[in-house]
Structure formats: C-alpha cells, structure tokens
Amino acid sequence: MELLLTENKKKPAAKPRKRTQRIFPASTFEEPLEFAEEILRFGSGQPVRRLSIFDHLQKSPESGPSRQLITNASKYGLINGSYSSEMLSLTPDALVALGDNTTTREQTRARVKLSIEGIEPFAKLFERFQGNRLPAKAALVDAAVEFGVDDKASEEAVDTFVVNLRHLGLLQTLSGAERIVTVDHLLDGLPSPQEQAATDPQNPKRSEGAIITSAHAEFETTAFFVAPIGPDDSEERRHSDLFLSTLVEPALEQFDLNVVRADSIGKPGTITKQIIEYLLKSRLVIADLSYHNPNVFYELAIRHLIRKPVVQIMRAADHVPFDVAQVRTIMIDTTDIYSLVPKIDTYRSEIATQVRRALDDPDAVDSPISTYFPEFPAPNSVGETGS
C-alpha cells in the first residue's frame, strides 16, 4: 500500500489539454453561406429569431453543430449575432453576396471579400500565392504558420482556404495545372451588367440574338494559344497541356503576356465568336500545328488574313503542310523524354526569339496571303483592340 502511495505521489498531475486556437472559421465558406441564404429566404432580409430559424431548419438551436454554424457565419461576416443572441441578422456584405438586387460581379466580389479577404490568414495566403500555380500543401502550411495560424490548426486552415478558393472560382485548372487566379481574372470571366441583362430571360428588352463576348479581356496583353485541345485525357489534350505549361508560358513570361487557350476563356456565349474575337484582337497568337488539327488551320488562316503577329510551333513527328511551309515553324522533337527534356530550354529560347521579332515589328507580318496579296488588308486595318 505504501509503495502504491509513493508511486502515485511521483506521478505528475495530468496537464489540461491545450485547446487549439483558430484565427479562422472552423468550416469552409459554403455551409455558412447556405445558412445565410436560409435566413434571407425565411426573413426576406430582415432580422430573424434564432429559435425560429432553427425550428424552420428542423435543427436544435442549442446543439453543438448549430452553435458552431452561427459562430462560423459570424466569423465570415455573414451575420450579426452569436449562438446566445435572440435575433440574427444579415450583414450588408451578406446581402450583396447572396445576390439581393446585385449583379453577378458584385455578388462574386462580395463573396471573395467575406471568405478570403476578410479572414486574415486567408487574405495573406492569397496575397502571396495569387497568380501562381497552387503550391505544395507543405508550402501553404508553412506560410499559414508564418501568418499566425496555430501549428496544430495549420493543415485545417490550408484545407479550408483551398476549398474556399475552389468554391469561389479562384482556383482554376489552366494549362494542365491548378492555379490561384487573381480576383480581376475571375471577375473578367463574368458577364458585365449589360451582358447579364441581355441574357436575362426576365428582361423584356433582351435581344434574342444577344451574344456575350470577351469584350473585357485585355487583348493588348494577351497571347492566344491556338492548339489541338481534344477531350479530357486524350493524347491531344496531354500534348497541348505539355506544350503550354512547359514551353509556351515560360517563353512568354519575359513579355508580360497572359497566355489564353480556348478552353480557359471561361465566358458564356458562342465559343466560335469568342475564339474569332481573340484571333482578331490578341496582340500575339501562338499556333501549334501538331496533329494537323483542322480547327487550328482554320484559326491560323484568320490570323494570316489580318496580318497580325503569329508564331507557329509543331511537333517534329508531323510535317508542315505546303500552304504554310513558307512561314517559319519551330519544330519540337517529342519522340521520347530523352529527346525532349535536354532541349526544353532551347525550344523556349526559339519561341521567345520568334515572339520578340513578331512583336518588335508587328506590321512586317508575312503569310501566304500577304505574299501574293500584299495590299490585302492593310496592316492594323482589321481587328483593332477594343471592346
């Protein structure tokens, strides 16, 4: 007995479990947003009784999940009130985010403000990594800790941040890789109020033939990549993703040009019209003639017709058709990894050199059309940049 008492005395008292401190909401933005939508529907935008809204939702207002839901909605800036408040009300930002008499752009901007910019560690993560590929999770975790997130909660914070980005559309698959796009890029992909009104079925002034185009794209800083895209997981798609991410984008970084491929335009409307608009207005076109894709040659002909800068590339396994053989084409050997990898830097340099020549003297564009009909059309007389 004395031995047991002695051993018990030697045992240190158990330390109380340290509670993980979160400086971010304990859920993604989507669930609190849905809760705010229910409040809007239930109360028509006016304050509602906490007990009444949960009775409407058939949930216990005092349960742990319900209390946490209110806390998270409050942390995201969607509601005023706590789990002990008698009344809950929507914030002005929430009313905009829920689309209460607002445009799609205003709604999206408000959601970004609430779910990313309004949460300090998320705002700092976004500020650091926007415009880049989504980094490895470990890099995001290290950054979150640097920005004050508890080490024990850092992975949760990163997971929440990434899901919020995806929910908003700020995480997009471009050029075969997930990228954190800027808010401006996201908003540029949305219809303007005029375009939204033109396609709104409730708008009596809607034109039946209205087509939404990429009028808000910054064409002077755009390089349009014309390529054989193909279905998901097809050989053509993998080829296009490889050329774009490994060769074209790195080669164009020094020129501050935003590379756009048809599948990343991301705007509603007739895709053919949008592609033609990019062909006519983009400062530069990079055309990948690999696989002899008929769409690519059709689009290349449009660019040749207006005599604006274009650079042609092609995998070496294909031959350059006679009609475009007189225009210099950069041939890229993709026979196997051993042929491609050692020459990647060389290919990038070749592309950059051709781009530089094309941009330095955009009026000296040669094509089969300009060779035989040099006065048709006069350079810069077609496809002037603008909306």
CA distance 196 to 213: 11
Please give the share of the chain, as a percent, with pLDDT higher than 90: 45
Provide the pLDDT for residue 183.
Answer: 93
Please give the share of the chain, as a percent, with pLDDT higher than 70: 78
**361 band by pLDDT with thresholds 50, 70 and 90:** confident
- Has this prediction a pTM greater than 0.85? no
Provide the pLDDT for residue 98.
Answer: 92
Tell me: do 168 and 269 sit in the same domain. Answer: no
Q: Beta strand pairing status for 222-226 and 284-288?
A: parallel
Average pLDDT over residues 125-144: 92
CB 155 within 8 A of CB 141: yes
- For residue 208, being part of any structural domain is answered with no
Tell me: do 151 and 226 sit in the same domain. Answer: no
CATH of the domain at 35: 1.10.10
CA distance 94 to 78: 5
CATH of the domain at 282: 3.40.50.450
**178 band by pLDDT with thresholds 50, 70 and 90:** confident
Tell me: do 225 and 368 sit in the same domain. Answer: yes
The last residue of a domain, from among 190, 205, 236: 190
Tell me: do 31 and 82 sit in the same domain. Answer: yes
Could you read off the pLDDT of 228-246 as tens digits, one per residue?
A: 988 888 999 999 999 999 9
Tell me: do 182 and 60 sit in the same domain. Answer: no
**110 band by pLDDT with thresholds 50, 70 and 90:** very high
- For residue 198, being part of any structural domain is answered with no
CA distance 325 to 226: 18
Q: Compute the C-alpha angle 171/133/263, nearest 5°.
A: 60
- For residue 225, being part of any structural domain is answered with yes
Reading the block at residue 322, the tokens are 């006679």
The last residue of a domain, from among 40, 75, 100: 100
Average pLDDT over residues 154-176: 84
Tell me: do 223 and 363 sit in the same domain. Answer: yes
Residue 213 above 50 pLDDT? no
Q: Compute how many other C-beta atoms are within 10 angstroms of the C-beta atom of residue 356.
A: 13
Residue 51 above 70 pLDDT? yes
**36 band by pLDDT with thresholds 50, 70 and 90:** very high
- For residue 377, being part of any structural domain is answered with no
Task: Give the total number of structural domains in the chain.
Answer: 3
- For residue 313, being part of any structural domain is answered with yes
Average pLDDT over residues 215-238: 82
Provide the pLDDT for residue 219.
Answer: 83
Tell me: do 112 and 87 sit in the same domain. Answer: no
Residues 6+ apart with CB under 8 A from 180: 126, 129, 130, 131, 132, 133, 134, 165, 170, 171
Give the lowest-confidence range in 66-70, 84-88, 230-234, 383-387.
Answer: 383-387
Tell me: do 160 and 241 sit in the same domain. Answer: no
Tell me: do 238 and 316 sit in the same domain. Answer: yes
Reference 327, options 261, 371, 282; nearest CA is: 371
- For residue 249, being part of any structural domain is answered with yes
- For residue 2, being part of any structural domain is answered with no
Tell me: do 121 and 255 sit in the same domain. Answer: no
Residue 209 above 60 pLDDT? no
Domain extent at residue 39? 22-100
CA distance 292 to 355: 22
Average pLDDT over residues 139-166: 90
Q: Beta strand pairing status for 310-315 and 284-288?
A: parallel
Average pLDDT over residues 177-188: 88
- For residue 210, being part of any structural domain is answered with no
Tell me: do 226 and 107 sit in the same domain. Answer: no
**Mean pLDDT computed over every residue of the chain:** 82
**268 band by pLDDT with thresholds 50, 70 and 90:** very low
